[in-house]
Structure 1
Amino acid sequence: VSITMDPLFLAWSSYRRRRFQRCADICSKLLSGSPYDQAAWSLKTRALTEMVYIDEVEVDQEGIADMMLDESSIAQVARPGTSLRLPGTSQGAAPTPAVRPMTQSGRPVTGFVRPSTLSGRPETMEQAIRTPRTARPVTSASGRFVRLGTTLFEYIFHLENDVKNALDLAALATEHAQFKDWWWKVQLGKCYYRLGLHREAEKQFRSALTHQEFVDTYLYLAKVYQRLDQPITALNVFKQGLDHFPAEVTLLTGIARIQEEMNNMISATEYYKEVLKQDNTHVEAIACIGSNHFYTDQPEIALRFYRRLLQMGVFNCQLYNNLGLCCFYAQQYDMTLSSFERALALVSSDEEQADIWYNLGHVAVGIGDLTLAYQCFKLALAFHNNHGEAYNNLAVLELRKGRIELLKFILMYIYSKHFTSSTLSEIKCYLKLIIELLADNCQRLVSEHLFTVLVISLILHIGLHKNHVVYSQIILQDPWLIVQ
């Protein structure tokens, strides 16, 4: 007699082994026979949710619309050391921008690309965050209906991305629990945060903390204050969490990140060291401490931290690139080129390849081989034609060769394209506004002759640079192209 395994148990086993698609397929077969099986529905929704689950604590993408249309700022001119948008005002004894490069937001380049940063973003969110942590804490309520409700909320919130209906469900569940279930209050706060209602999210997270102290709740609340540009309050929230959960790694890491974003490198390094005392395999702490030692003119110590990452199994082109630079500045030339060769063998994008060739150009300049440096900078531009640093160094090499005209052309190209694009966008905005006004008033579009006169007036008013005469001539030849 053949013994077959219960399909529901087999689906649960697949879920435990993180084979979510197989689990969902088995549950679908079960539901085709008994469509009212709540256990199968619950397990299927959990499996589908796990396939697209994103840790809301870590991922926080702030787009250009959020930055430009932000109305939640407390003060237009923040005090020095109290704002993440003015990181240069803090007194942290950090290296100057001439020593340590800065990002476009004015913050120093970190040693670890976090999920919340826009640079180095993978193709999909599933690749950006792969965490072994479970999706959900245990709710304080009990019963199959409540368990199915929590699963349904996460299905709507993560898979369907329907925040409005998820908010309605969380509000009804909170009312049904007589406003005493901390888990549903946390979900309400997540919905409010996703909708941009940060003050309402703050109230829900603080109310949840009165019912149950939980690490993730402190992390969510601190993230709200970071979005409100209140890093000091976020630090206080993390410290309150450390009072209830001493030596918690995630809370210590959050403090270190804020200190690093505020350009207070000494304090950030101390907290990262505290993280390593609790978890000596924490990749972010090791990478950030190594990066800080490198930019404070201690490449030998930074080399030890990067070698530690290699021993832990971290294997990518960025690590070998950093190893090559540390070996070069530590005068270990036998390891420099071999590290860069490994980095070139592991590249996954043209931007990474351009950065590696740019660093190789720096190595060539350091050893005095300007011909090799010239070729390396050329290769960097071949892989990434908007690499401003490579253009700048290439212009310096052209200056040494006495090619003044080529030098002017290279330096002009660094900014001229962006300047022209911004100017044309401004003209396009004005022209569309004029056309709408004339069409409303005259019930017909303006004639091409009058339109050309308006284009000339706008060009003279905005004041195009003399190097962009060619672009203005193209516009005047066919002015209607700019509004298409």
Structure 2
Amino acid sequence: MPSQIDPTWLALSRLRRRRFTECIDGCTSILQTSPYDKAVWSLKTLALSAEAYTDETEMEEEGVGELLLDDNAVASMPRPGTSLSAPRINTSDQGIRPMSSSGRPNTGFSRPGSSSTRPISGMTVDAAFRGSKPGTSRPMTTLGREVRLGTASMNSGSGKFIEIDKLNLRKYASRPALAIALIDYLLFVEVNPRKGLELCSEATQRANYKSWFWKRKLGQCYYKLGLYRDAEKQLRSSLKETPMIMTYFDLVKVYLKLDIPNTALSLLLSAGEQFPMEPRILLGIARIYDMLGDVENSSAAYKKVLQIDASSIEAISCLASNSFYTDNPEISLRYYRRLLQMGLSSTELWSNLGLSCFHSSQFDMALSCFSRALQLSNETNEGDVWYNIGLTGVSIGDLALAYQAFKVAVSIDKNCAEAYANLGVLDLRKNDWESAQAMFEQAKSLAPFLFEPLYNLALLQWKRGNLEGAYENVKQSLIIYPDHEESLALEKELMGSLMGLR
């Protein structure tokens, strides 16, 4: 009978089975009768921390304030391939593979930080706020997001479990078991890195500066407070004491915040030599290569991940995307089918599967996949599906279907610049020049990092006799895509016309 089971043992069993809510309730009832039971207090603290824990091995979403006020970059004008704001771009692929606002090719997997707009030259406040979907409220900084999450988790209970301001941190630092439970509570539940820093400092002194654990926690507190160089020193010292995989990931986050990805890459490569069978390290290497625009090396790293962990969704998705944009839709189709076999089903997956089927000449399967994608879609991704249907209509020559699909796409997502650009081209085929110019202008304002609207607008202005406006737009197009042959030819012809007028 449950009444005959020791309640402390039962709470511990529930913690091990990850039934955190039941564990917390059991500990609360025990503490009501025995408020000074240190074992139960520690158990409840661990359960609260585990319930509020978030995986911090990846780069978190950056807030608008961090994007605009980022002064941690090493160089203001970095060379391509040495900074996240200046990726190594393969210009031969830029015409067929969509790019993000920072100039990096889009990957096949959405991860924390991948949707953020990195600070690039000439970024304005409006551009930074347009980095996210309309209607979403993002906090100004990452720590602000964590504070909001911590507040929500505390409001779900009956009140605060620990009065942080009344704690004697020196007393807890002298008791390692209680201190280890308390530090995670401070970081994940209370989201109070300042108090965590005090506890870590006291505990590090008590350990005679020999504990890798407290040095790592000290580095995490410095990182949350934005003191990245101090965090680097502590994490380096922790690795010197005992190399741990999680410490490597913490240090990589610091280097990515400092915008020195090559240092983070070399650190992960050295970690891979110590832990050769750890797929998370290979995933980190592949992500940094993706951030730097090195698609070839990132694909090689993802393949190594699959040799160790054949069920890695991120590796399969990114390899599928890379195969599709390197003109291998049949291989991409195999990867996406593998994801379906693993039990995944989402709008994005079915939409990508439809595109792969279409480019593999499996037209009947493509329409079924797009239909399935629309069934699973919502207001955040339905516009992307209709945009892909429009591209399919253009490819098969059904321009009426394409026009209607692009119209539906912009009615759902008013920030779909690619759909506006394609609508402008279709309006040109109808000789509706005014509507086409309006579409190109709208696409240009929504996505200034795309070269297609700029080139099409320049071509339209050239045909209408606005040579100066056409020349300005084609110059902007060449800044984004310097090897675009049509833009180069148009620039040469415009230069000749302008020189003749003078």
Taking structure 2 as the reference length, what is the TM-score of the superposition? 0.75
Match of 2:305 in 1: 275
1:461 maps to: none
**Structure 2 counterpart of 1:260:** 290
Find the counterpart in structure 2 of residue 57 from structure 1: 57
Q: Verify: 1:375 aligned to 2:404, yes or no.
A: yes
Q: Distance in 1 between matches of 2:258 and 2:445?
A: 35
Name the Cα RMSD after superposition. 2.6
Q: Deviations over 1:370-394 (max 9, x none)?
A: 1111111111122112211111111
The residue that corresponds to 2:395 in the other structure is 366
Q: Alignment partner for residue 99 of structure 1, among 90, 93, 96? A: 96
The residue that corresponds to 1:477 in the other structure is none
* Deviation (angstroms), 1:145: 2.8
Q: Which one-letter code corresponds to 1:211 in the other structure? A: E
Aligned residue in 1 for 2:437: 408
Number of aligned pairs? 401
For residues 192-271 of structure 1, the aligned pairs below 5 Å read: 192-271=222-301
Specify whether residues 402 and 257 from structure 1 end up closer, same or farther in structure 2 by C-alpha distance, changes over 3 A only. same
Cα deviation, 1:334-379, whole Å, max 9, x if unaligned, reads 11011111111112x3130000001001111111111111111111
User: C-alpha separation between the residues in 2 aligned to 1:339 and 1:115?
Assistant: 27
Three-state SS of the structure 1 residue aligned to 2:175 is helix
User: Cα offset for 1:12?
Assistant: 2.0
1:458 aligns to what? none
TM-superposed deviation, 1:176: 1.0
Which residue, out of 341, 352, 367, partners 1:311?
341
Shift in alpha-carbon separation, 1:418–1:296, aligned structure 2, 3 A:
closer
SS of the residue aligned with 2:70?
Answer: coil
% identical aligned pairs: 45
Aligned counterparts of 1:418 and 1:268: Cα–Cα separation in 2:
26
In structure 2, the CA distance between the partners of 1:416 and 1:298, relative to structure 1 (3 Å rule), is closer
**Alpha-carbon deviation of 1:246?**
1.6
Please name the residue that 1:9 is paired with: 9
Relative to structure 1, the CA distance from residue 411 to residue 214 in structure 2 (aligned partners, 3 Å threshold; closer, same or farther) is same
1:389 aligned partner: 418
Cα distance, 1:417 vs structure 2: 8.2
Give the residue type in structure 2 aligned to 1:28.
T
Pairing 1:20–2:20 present: yes
Deviations 1:116-155 (A, max 9, x none): 33369999999x9xxxxxxxxxxxxxx9931211111111
Q: Quick check: 2:84–2:259 contact (8 Å CA) kept in 1?
A: yes
CA offset digits 1:135-182 (Å, max 9, x no partner): xxxxxxxx9931211111111111111111111111111111111110
Q: 1:405 to 1:358 in 2, by over 3 A?
A: same
* Equivalent in the alignment of 2:482: none
Greater mean deviation of Cα atoms: 282-291 or 377-386: 377-386
- The 8 Å contact of residues 20 and 48 in structure 1, kept in 2 or not, is answered as yes
What is the letter of the counterpart of residue 414 of structure 2?
N
Sort the Cα spacing of 1:405 and 1:123 in 2 relative to 1 into closer, same or farther, 3 A.
Answer: closer
Q: Which amino acid aligns with 1:52?
A: A
CA distance, structure 2, for counterparts of residue 360 and residue 320 of structure 1 = 12
| In structure 1, C-alpha distance between the alignment counterparts of 2:340 and 2:92, rounded to whole Å | 26
Deviation at 1:287, TM superposition (A): 0.8
Name the aligned partner's letter for residue 50 of structure 2: E
Contact 2:354 2:365 in 1 (8 A): yes
Per the TM alignment, residue 418 of structure 1 is displaced from its structure 2 partner at its CA by 9.8
Pairing 1:117–2:147 present: no
Name the aligned partner's letter for residue 47 of structure 1.
Answer: A
1:351 maps to a residue whose letter is: T
Decide whether aligned partners of structure 1 residues 94 and 310 sit closer, same or farther in structure 2, where only a CA change above 3 A counts: farther
Describe the superposition over 1:189-213 as per-residue Cα deviations: whole angstroms up to 9, x where unpaired: 0111111111111110110011111
Query: Aligned to 1:109, what secondary structure does the other structure show?
Result: coil
1:36 aligned partner, one-letter code: Y
Aligned-partner residue type, residue 429 of structure 2: R
Q: Relative contact order (alpha carbons < 8 A, sep ≥ 6): 1 or 2 greater?
A: 2
State the AA in 2 paired with 1:80.
Answer: P
Q: What is the distance in 2 between the residues matched to 1:73 and 1:256?
A: 22
Distance 1:341 1:416 in 2: 31
Deviation at 1:42, TM superposition (A): 1.3
Aligned residues of 2:379 and 2:412 also touching (Cα < 8 A): yes
Q: Distance in 1 between matches of 2:441 and 2:305?
A: 46
Shift of 1:81: 2.2
**3-state SS of 2:93 partner:** coil
* Stretches of structure 1 lacking an aligned partner (at least 5 in a row): 129-142, 420-484
- CA distance, structure 2, for counterparts of residue 236 and residue 2 of structure 1: 54
The one-letter amino acid paired with 1:29 is S
Residue 348 of structure 2 corresponds to residue 351 of structure 1: no
Q: Given the alignment, which residue of 189, 200, 203 partners 2:219?
A: 189
The one-letter amino acid paired with 1:269 is S
Return the offset for 1:77: 2.3
CA contact (8 A) 1:94 1:264 kept: no
Aligned with 1:216: secondary structure? helix
Residue 263 of structure 2 aligns to a residue whose secondary structure is: helix
Task: Report Cα offsets for 1:455-481 as digits up to 9, x if no partner.
Answer: xxxxxxxxxxxxxxxxxxxxxxxxxxx
| Partner residue in 1 for 2:427 | 398
